[in-house]
Structure 1
Amino acid sequence: MNDQALQSTDLQADIGRLLERIQTLGQVGALEGGGVCRLALTDQDRDGRNLVLGWMRELGLATRVDQIGNVVGIRQGAEDGAPVMIGSHIDSVATGGLYDGTLGVLAGLEAVHTLNDAGITTRCPVAVGFFTNEEGARFAPDMMGSAVHQGSLPLVDALETVGTDGQSVGSELDRIGYSGDVPVNDLVPRAYLELHIEQGPVLEESGTTIGAVTGVQGISWTEFQFSGISNHAGTTPMRLRHDAGYVAAAVAVEARAIATRLGGHQVATVGVTELSPNLVNVIANQARVTVDLRNTSDSELVLAEARMADFVANTAASEGVELQQRTLARFSPVEFDPQIVGLIEAAAGRYGCSCQRLPSGAGHDAQM
């Protein structure tokens, strides 16, 4: 930055202007009663993209769209080179909130707007961007755009991904006009910052204003399917049952027990439970459950995965139930740059905000 920027202590973002942009974008895909639905690459996502892209251009940013539809606007600095990038995503789940992802993108635009108003030229370029399909609600996996950007997911695999409605990522990018020609690995930021709302109760419980995120927990998603035998609930003795529903219920209980025994940052969730034929007086012959395991330590996460796998296999075998399983997602823990974490703490202190270091339990583009 120039000397003026280095010594500026009174530079303030316009919170009203930021909130106005958030509310305006929140009208795109707005749901009755509050919230938004902007599933990735739908018409609503396209309209949201058009709005944000327009704001980027109004602020004088040089915009670019890459081959997976990631959008970046760049403000030139005094020197050429890699930009400092601020960003997140603007797609949502089916019942999303106004701030999830959106805050990180629009806060970046507000930072640019504030710099423009103050006439400050930063030493490095500043980029603001949003990544395609962070949520993964329509197309799996989540964090798709950032994964392709960072090279952990091949572009061709992402483009060929078929969504819940039978459409492919590539065809939908073409349809909404966001199949760009910029290579996905063309932009390598000097640093990346993602402002996000807390997606949990930790800061609220402690009365802390700012969380300086030290990293993102490792994530392991596994689907288990059990096949047993349907029989009458009243006439089948317990010793003769092959109950898929029982095994599914046991998995849910054991997932909680594993997390409790390991302690620390280990968490476990059974988010999906489906039984068939799903009748009150019939033993279930089919069951499907998903297990979500997370930990800041990869070795502890591996241990939780092993304990879960052993329990599932042994319980299914003892009940005489057939087992099938598949991995839905697996991300190792990521540690963030300590210098940037320290800068966040220092900035919070300068503005009189309480601050706490903590890991993020939710996945974000920043972990890519």
Structure 2
Amino acid sequence: MSFHLRLAATALLGLLPLTNAAYNLAREYKGQNFFSAWDYYGKYDNLTNGDVIWVNQSVAVSNPQLTYINSAGNAIIKVDDTTTVPYNEKRNSVRLTSLDKFNLGTVMVFDALHVPYGCSVWGALWSQGINWPAGGEIDIFEAVNLMTANQMALHTESGCAQADGVTQTGITQVKNCDNNGSNGAGCTVLDANTNSYGEPFAAAGGGVWVTEFAKTGINIWFFSRANVPASLSTDTIDVSTFGTPSASYPASSCDPAKYFSEQQIVIDITLCGDWSGVKSVLESTCPALNGTNTCYTTYVLDPKNYVNAYFELASVKIFASDPSAVVTAAGVTQTVSATGSPHPNAASGMGPTGAVAFGAFALTAMLGLVLQF
């Protein structure tokens, strides 16, 4: 290669923003088309033994509505809080799974105004591989009953653990991520911020969870509303500016490339079941069960117990370091805007900022080859 070609390539490279921590907006689920990008479970909770039916979409949009866009333009996902449930029947709720899948090199961002809470309530924002647990699971927000803070976790096959001495603000409770160990708890971290769940979360105006799914590891940040980084409202984010994560799982002790396949996002609310319905767990934050009463008989039958059992989501965003990291159900990569329509340059699978970042990546690789001559 000629000297002039090398010089030109170097000059072009200097004009492009290069940072290993930079991710560009690839998906934004928001507004009237929010629910078009998700699959409804459509049957009873046969996964965590909760006392709910995760309804299909036609039931969810009927009366009472369990999924809808409110007057503020936010997505509501809730438990039925108006129907008195006959004994031995289950209460209606919702479980959504994203149609899109996300590979290594993506960041999931949940902007919430309200999360479900209350005695017997078990809500979660999370992701999983298709062949669970072989494909791994990332619990971003998960809490039950009247816990004082959110709990984050990974669930994997045997061999993955959280490293010793990780830098995080949360409190590690279990280090072994093996789903068959610790009664299926996974490697859990309790958020130190009490605004991460329940009434304090709502009173603070909600907050944002940011989850980096990268070759170097998995990191989760929680920002209460007053501390949300301004860059999260832009098309490009740099996770190196976000400070210490709430939970950190470096690849040194749990390699995401080995233990995690492409992920689908799940949003769900169940009642009682294998965690929130366990007597000792329930009674640790809620009134003791009397006599032969159970979580089901004490709470599930009465709709008044579920006025706070809902998500209010302003948006779900996916940022990617490479546009190929985001794949639709049909296997076709494209970038979808807030309204569900393609961004500029959608034919190439990237918006303007994505094109610049990917161009920087390609040019860096080319320059490396050029300079070998």
TM-score normalized by the length of structure 2: 0.25
TM-score normalized by the length of structure 1: 0.25
The answer to which structure, 1 or 2, has the higher relative contact order (CA under 8 A, 6+ apart) is 2
- Work out which of the two has the higher radius of gyration on C-alpha atoms and give 1 or 2: 1
Bigger helix share: 1
Bigger strand share: 2
